[in-house]
A and B are shown apart, each in its own frame.
Chain A
Amino acid sequence: MDKRQKSQQMIRSLRKRHLQIWSALAVLIPVSIVSAVIARPKPITTILLQPEEVAPLPVVIKTVERENYVVRLRGSNETPTQLEWINRNILTFPTAVIYKTQATFSPRHSDLIGRIEARGTYRFALKPDQGSEYHFVLYDFIHQQKIDSINF
């Protein structure tokens, strides 16, 4: 077979090869697309540290409002036994803890109430207290700095 004949054969075989390649791609491409869509990670569902299902106590005793969150003292009567924390907006810090403290704050000498995340509504139980003033501190335990003070 001379060079010319080989060249001529090549064109016909190329046409056949085109069809073979696209027949394979007709299977491979849809399979790849469907597999990739199925493999997509499911959206991350928010699992709150303190489930929102904890029912709010009926009486709102005191409220402090901030731009990004609302904090309430609740109870079954006029004695606060529950701290309600509602994040209005997504907070800029991923996680923080709430301390019940005295007028001057020190993590060592404060009661840890609970931990919150950047979003969600939280309700924490409070020990009944005879005092009329309640001081809370939102504390970034990663960077070890006070974020906010909430005084009732």
Chain B
Amino acid sequence: MASSEETATRSTAGAPGGPEESWGARVRRFSKTDFVRSLPYWFVPFLIMGLGVYGGIGWNTIVSLTDYEGFGQPPDLSDLDLSMYAEALSDSAVHITIKNTLVLMVAFTTITMVLGLFLAIMLDRDIRFREKIQTIYLLPMALSFVVTAQFWLWMYNVNNGLINVVLGLIGLGPYNWISDPSLVLGAVIFALIWQFSGYAMVVFLAGLQSLPDDQFEAAKVDGANTIEMYWDVIIPQLKSSSVSAAVILLIFALKAFTFLYSMFGQYRVPKATDILATLMVREAFQLQNWAYAAAIASILLLMSLAIIAPYLYYQHRQGSL
């Protein structure tokens, strides 16, 4: 009764149907709006994704506030506190992994971007077999980390690996890339650069090809030499490609787990390559410290939000969302 009165008053307020329109007619009219018609398309995927992503994150946050560990009983929700976060922030293992994560993110992203940009500029001209060359450069990106980790394990083999064979030609080595704690992180970063620079190249190539040709022509007429032209004219216009590539690479470096796990064949990777992502999975699935792992996952999530949120804001400001 109250609701029908409410609708009646609201419809007098300005609905096209006028005060006489019945509740049923309103529902019928509403059901014909594009909003309702669009629901079958986006709402189901949205619901599934929302439950998985946001439901998962919410649940993870709750678990991180408990003391949940081991098998069996569900987490005890009566006693929620931040003790797991306090423990994580004072844990020296976490400090090491945060440091390694940052080194990996910065070194991997910077070098991959520079190499990718270089490759894109190199290929952005009339070259025979350009498509084929590009295909080969991008090939590592189509392979699973489980697969490429096997290849690199063999490349880095101390006695027979190709890296040491090649270095041996110029009188260096052999180095124990995998077991030497001072080399292993660099070795992992190098392998990941190998896998991802083709990706950065593709992003930059798309950026270069979207620039109008007269940009290049104008710079040539002005007498700028090639390097100056790229540095002063072209590269500044690749800002949006650079931001996109950097975000994707940073986020990848943050969560890189599979390559490390596969390379060493176990949850416990060498200390020098232990990052937050590997620590989290190990705490959860090897040691069953669910609450502690959930807390580390939250830290990881916050770090990635610190990258994603400004990125999406930037994209929005650019009008590209």
Do A and B form a real pair? no
